[in-house]
Each structure stands twice: as structure tokens, then as C-alpha cells.
Amino acid sequence: MIIRLIIGALMIGSVYGVVGIGYGLIYKASGLMSLAQGDMLMFGAFLGITFYKYLQLPFIVALLLTMIIMFLLGMFIERVMVTKLIEKGAQTVYIILCTISISMILQNSAMLTWGSNVLQFPAIFNSASVKIFGVSVAPENLLVLGVGVIIMVTLQLFLTKTKFGISMRAAAQDEVAASALGINVPLTKGTAWGIASMLAGAIGVVVGPVFGVYMSMGAMIGQKAFAGAVVGGYGNMFGAIIGGVFFGFLETFVSAYLTSNYKDFITFGILIVVMIIMPKGIFNEEVME
């Protein structure tokens, strides 16, 4: 049972971590906060099931197409909506309200397009289970964990080893200096929003076979991913991963050994306690005003 719980905790923790990284990317690139990341995951899951189940495309093709569409959607939101608000002198709170509106639009668009019922994602693997240390585990759970780890490692390499990734980090630290060095700051901002949307959509596709696909699936995931990002140190990529895994283990073991009825109450109660003790998070991240 312990092994099964650990695998489950790592699986859901990786989901929170990937979505939390998206929050941090947007924050670091533009100093803004998007509250639509959970529904980006939901919308990506619906796109994935459309490509895989209804259009009968191979799963990897469905995943890649979803990632491309979600990347373009994220860039569109930043370039067409967020940037226009900033140019008109909108305060940060209005941009946050805009992302909440986007979240509602995504939910209602999903309901109008796919309905409000839970859609069952077809099995990806032929085998119903695999053995891990003698314990039977659904291969879809391992896929979520594997994709989450690959995303985290790939993003870290992209941000630290590629020229464009380093340019994104430079633009996030000082826009004026980055512009003076020839970095296209608007492009880096749009790309950051696009990557955050793409990551959420990708993890949504692989988590669909585990939980099913439905309109409100991203709401609680988005909240816990945000909480994980805050606990880790908002804007810190490693902090988002650590915080996400922390909440994954917390809710999994609370559900197993205490009660599943109040796991969210306990989880967010512990968040409040952690924030009182460590207001800057585990990695002591400075928060921009």
C-alpha cells in the first residue's frame, strides 16, 4: 500500500508541479499573475480526447497537436489581451480579473462544445497494469509521472542552456537592459505565456485517462498548483515542483490514513500555517509588488 501511495502522490504532485511552473513562468516573465492555468489544463484535456478518441489520431500526435494549439492560445492571450490592457494603463488587479474571465470563457466554451458530462478517455496502453516492486500500478499513472518529469527537466535545460531561454530570463530580470542588448522583450513575454499554457495543456492530456475529462477538472488542480507554487516560493521553478510534490504527498496520505472527506480542508489549512511561518516560501523568494 505504501508503494502505491507513493507512486500516486508523485503522480499528482508532478501535475501540481507542472501547472505551478506555469504560474511561475508567467510571473517571472511579466510580473503578472494568471489564474487561468487550471482551466488551460482542462481545455488541453478536451483537445487531447478530441484528437485521440474522436479523430482517431495516435496518442503522441494528439499530444503534440494539443501542445501546439495551447502554446498559440497562451501567446494570443498575452499579445492580444494582456498587452492591450497594459498599454491602456490597466492596473495589475484588472489583468488578474481578465485572466479569471478567460478561465470562465474556457469553462463555458468546453461545456458548449463537449457538454457537461464526464468523458472517458480511452486507454492508452494495452496492459491494464504493470508491476512496480510487486505492486500493480496503472501504466497511465506512470505516464503522468514520466511526462511531468520530462517537462520539468526539458524546461530547466531550455531556460539555462539555450540562447532564447537565457534571453527570457534576462528580460524577466530587467526589461530595459535586455532591450538595450537587442532582446525582443515582447516576444519573450508572449513565449512565456505560451509555454505556460502549453505545459498545462500537455499535462491535461496525460491526466485525462486517470481522472476522466470534465469541465471543472482544472479548478481544484489549479488551486493546489498555485498553493504549491506559493509554498515553494512564488516564481521559483524548483519551488513550484517541491511545493507541488508536497501537496501531492499531503493529500494522498491524508486521504489514505485520515479522511478523504476533509483532505482539501486539511491541505489548505496547512497552507495557511506554512505561509504564516514562511511567508516567502521554502526558497525564500522575493515577491514583486
pLDDT in tens, 14-26: 999 999 999 989 9
pTM: 0.92
Q: Are 53 and 270 in contact (CB under 8 A)?
A: no
Return the pLDDT at 165: 87
Measured N-to-C along each axis, helices 37-49 and 92-114 cross at an angle, to the nearest 10 degrees, of 20
Q: How far apart are the first and last CA of the chain?
A: 45
Return the pLDDT at 49: 96
Residue 6 has pLDDT above 80, yes or no: yes
Mean pLDDT, residues 255-277 taken together? 84
Q: Name the most confidently modeled range: 20-29, 109-118, 122-131.
A: 109-118
Return the pLDDT at 16: 95
Q: Which residue has the higher pLDDT, 37 or 29?
A: 37
Return the pLDDT at 288: 54
Return the pLDDT at 234: 84
Mean pLDDT, residues 174-198 taken together? 91
Spatial distance between the Cα atoms of 194 and 67, rounded to a whole number of angstroms: 10
DSSP annotation of 134: T
Cα–Cα distances (Å) from 237 to 20, 114, 175, in that order, read: 8, 33, 20
Return the pLDDT at 125: 85
